[in-house]
Structure 1
Amino acid sequence: MFWYDHDGGGWGWFAMSAGMILFWILIAAVGLLVYRAVARSQGGGAPPGAQPPGPPPEQLLAERFARGEIDEDEYHRRLTVLRESATGGPRPGRR
């Protein structure tokens, strides 16, 4: 086994160890990039402030009004609050 005296000394072991560490770092980086790509394609990577998936709040409010869960006065009051909160305006009766 050691007949040919191809001993690389400490540098051979160092290069082999460094190569193995770099190999596992590369595998972890590829795994992380694949995970982020899959999560982003499934909607997990939405930018902050983006509209959440699903119907908008005004549509949900209109559906509740149509089903009779809320009356007309409450519908208009909540609709006003929704629209003011979207524009950043003051809410009536609140500080």
Structure 2
Amino acid sequence: MMFWYDHNVSGWGWFAMSASMILFWALIITAAVLLFRALNRPHEHTHAPAVPTPEQILGDRFARGEIDEEEYRRRLDALHTGPPRP
């Protein structure tokens, strides 16, 4: 029976044990939340961004007013038919 009443833990000892238990569970919960977020994040591609297609470049030039509709259609047809044949 002596063990239950005399284990030499003062008030500061109880405080240190309580604080360390709270810190322990806070670290476990934080690690679990960070792991959950990391696993559910959409994967980001690390390669270079996609190069725009010639049709997109041509459409951008038409949208900015650098070329008129006639030139846009002529160049778009040239893109789709391929290079001129000799």
Q: TM-score range by the shorter chain?
A: 0.3 to 0.5
TM-score (norm: length of structure 2): 0.46
Which structure shows the higher helix fraction? 2
Point out which structure has higher relative CO (alpha carbons under 8 A, 6+ apart).
2
